[in-house]
Amino acid sequence: MRRVVVTGLGAVTPLGNNVQDFWNNLIAGVSGADMIKRFDCSKFKTRFACEVKDFDPSSVIDRKEVRRLDLFAQYALYAAHEAYHDAGFVEGSFDPDRSGVIWGSGIGGLETFFKEVEAFAKGDGTPRFNPFFIPKMIADIASGHISMRYGFRGPNFTTVSACASSTNAILDSMFYIRMGKADVMITGGSEAAVNEPAMGGFNAMHALSERNDSPKTASRPFDVSRDGFVMGEGGGALILEELEHAKARGAKIYAEIVGGGASADAHHITAPHPEGLGAINVMRSALNDAGMVPTDIDYINVHGTSTPLGDIAETKAIVGVFGEHAYNLNISATKSMTGHLLGAAGAVEAIASLLAVKHDVIPPTINQENFDPELDSKLNFTFNKAQHRTVRAALSNTFGFGGHNASVIFRKFED
């Protein structure tokens, strides 16, 4: 199979609207959480989230076009713009027919759907819908817009697997290149779910933290007082490229993407398997696909949402897969800083993982105050402060409602 490398990155996140700011704040242990400013949430159980800040899409997208795009698609185009230019593409440096886009989003244009239906419900029953209602709402529209922007005429679709969506998009992109069906892929994911229906819906499920008195410390994976995840938003984009194609145009290479896996819990619509069986299967599948053994991995960016059940199940799975080597690993949950970006989580955490490989720095798990005694205290959770170590390879986990699991592995590039 052909080798696949990462040659460009782009990000718009609660920690910064470009990759460098995102990485700097991640390593510094900055929380992106604050009280919600986008809408009046005074009657909601949870009144805080990790919102994207100071976002100006007009620097990348024409102002008229902005009005025709749901926020999740704006994040997609914004992140893809940075990744495309970071990869150093110029006219003639790629074949449009062998270049594609696979994007992930768990929900798509929820804000658009809500506003249109709200306006209809307040009216007299006459169906006065915006002609862009459907094109703004559908989850696949982001990949369509990215392909039109850059003229990529190869494979183009969107993966929807809840919080595993963008990891599945990355894996599918890798597979297309491996199999010789494409040379270049823009991949990643975006989500914009800091709005009334998303916050209200997740509150109704008792999935969100209600720590309104201290939002910056609310996302606290592995802490005994964790009470749910913190909503996040944004997008992450990666340029995946066949190795020889990248070398031929003199592209810089961040890391090699060497394997991935997917599995299902087949257990419950929202709760993880209590013994982490789906997580065990997906990590083993990723290692097998990469032709690696557990001792080849130095860092795991865990799904780590700060939910009571999920954190326990995932750590059990890590010990089940890695055995004694689990205690030599660094583990961290970057959702403690970014919040949970839902369908975009996999892309943003993939960027964090491969930058850990490139820079030999492990981002921390912040907000640890009282360790949960049900967890394995011998594991290195990288609590509260970044740690420097050689990172030969990193594995990133994402798990979604419905029992969807996806893992991806990045390794230092060696020619």
Instruction: List residues with catalytic annotation.
Output: 163, 303, 340
Enumerate residues 6+ apart whose C-beta is below 8 A from 342.
106, 107, 162, 163, 165, 191, 193, 231, 232
The partner residues of 393 in beta bridges, in order of sequence, read 411
Other Cβ atoms less than 10 A from the Cβ of 319: the count is: 17
Other Cβ atoms less than 10 A from the Cβ of 56: the count is: 10
160 φ, ψ to 5°?
Answer: -130, 105
- Structure tokens given for 49: 């989230």
Under a CB-based contact definition with an 8 Å cutoff, are residues 256 and 3 in contact?
yes
CA-based nearest residue to 52, from 28, 25, 27: 25
Q: Where does 213-286 show beta strands of DSSP type E?
A: 234-242, 255-264
* Counts for the chain of helices (H) and strands (E), in that order: 13, 14
- The whole-angstrom separation of Cα 196 and Cα 226 is 23
- Structure tokens given for 67: 């009005």
CA-based nearest residue to 227, from 244, 209, 240, 205: 209
Indicate the helix (H) or strand (E) that contains 377. none
